Amino acid sequence: MRSFDIPGHYRSGLIGRLKAFRKAQDPRKQDLSPTLLDLGAIRFVLARHFGFCFGVENAIEISYRALEENPGKRIFLLSQMIHNPAVNDDLVDRGMRFVQDTEGNMLMDWDELSSEDIVIIPAFGTTLETEARLKAKGIDPLRYNTTCPFVEKVWKRSDQLGDHRYTVIIHGKAIHEETRATFSHTVQKAPAVVIRDMKEAELLGRIMVGQEPLATFEQVFRDRASEGFDPQKDLDRVGVVNQTTMLATETQAIADHFKEVMRAKHGDNDLKAHFADTRDTLCYATNDNQDATNELLKAEADLALVVGGYNSSNTSHLVELLEQRFPTYFIKGAEEVLSALAIQHFCYPDKRLERTEGWLPARRPLTIVLTSGASCPDTILDQVMLKVLGLVEHAKDPAVAVQELIA
């Protein structure tokens, strides 16, 4: 896989060395066991895979290149380039401005844009309607297009489903910019509907087989379905794609559920005419990070720290997995570690910050699971680890421990 030219301040001197060591040991990524960094009084259990993925590094490289190639020009980010505040803040500090927020609400007037301006498409992609609006302004939306190749893969698969007259069921968060982009591309060729989770999949399945009235579709799904969507006709031949940052296991379970619904309705002999196998749209990085997080669940630890942007979907799913077993704190950076007595962290279901007292156990050695989302720089994990180390007496120098581990 290609390497990317990203700014040095995103490269880690501690976590990065451990990741490089594991990669050299296991280039084919067969070993998902975590890395134990033993610092004596405290131990960190690090996931095999975490942090920047291919799509994020690609987006960062393109965004910083746009700055280098266009001195003196106005450069805009259509919305947050990736869902990490440290990266987005750094780009803003270098002169970039946001056109929209992550839900598509305007942060400036379209009339402020001119053909002389540069607008960067985020890693999540954007809608065809927005692309057309930029082109009408004389702006080439693809000049600095950071759309993740794995998101584009989903769009291509949706096109194929449409070519074969399947309806596309999108597993995603309807308000998320990637799902909005996928929906926009999909409806060019196929009817489409967005579902959030297995509960909604089961409800839609009951509508398919007539166990729920069509009025239920109107109440629950109409505002997430393509124009003119006819549930009686359009739910008889389906395929599933996903927002790439969703839980991969849940996407697969949802696809399997619809397969069984169609099997029950049409029988084995006619199954392929009513259900398309689309497991090839699952993002490799999402799979790797989630598989590695599942391996963390086997560890013995006192708590888990998950680092990433609070609006990062993939990060919230790592939290969802880890909190099944450990007290888990979702933080955006070292500044959230207030003291040995208190930590500020994000409650993702309620979308609010919480403060927990007595979060750091007094027992020694203390074991902490540490991982991050796909848009979080490893340097931020370094900072978190060092901040926690500063709260624990008699811990070993992490640089020495890393060197001993990789020697």
Residues catalogued as catalytic: 178
**Among residues 339, 319, 351, which one has the least CA distance to residue 388?**
339
Half-sphere exposure of 168 (CA within 13 A, CB side): 31
Token pair of 347 as six digits: 């409650």
Measuring CA to CA, how many Å separate 187 from each of 73, 103, 125, 178, 254? 35, 19, 15, 14, 21
- The length of the chain is 407
How far apart (Å, rounded) are the C-alpha atoms in residues 322 and 299? 11
| Contact criterion met (CB below 8 Å) for 345 and 319 | no
Residue type, 56: V
Question: Between the CA atoms of 374, 379, 383 and 384, what dihedral angle is there, to the nearest 10 degrees?
Answer: 20
Find where tokens 């131990």 sit.
43
CA distance 181 to 104: 11
What 3-state DSSP class applies to 269? Answer: coil
Phi-psi category of residue 361: left, alpha or beta, with phi > 0 → left and psi -120 to 50 → alpha? beta
Among residues 15, 56, 235, the alpha carbon closest in space to that of 146 is found at 56
- Would strands 192-195 and 167-171 be described as parallel, antiparallel, or unpaired? parallel
**What stretches of 164-239 show up as alpha helix (H) in DSSP?**
177-186, 198-208, 214-220, 231-234
CA distance 367 to 250: 29
Q: Residue 276's beta-bridge partner residues?
A: 239
Instruction: Identify the H or E element spanning 345.
Output: strand 342-347
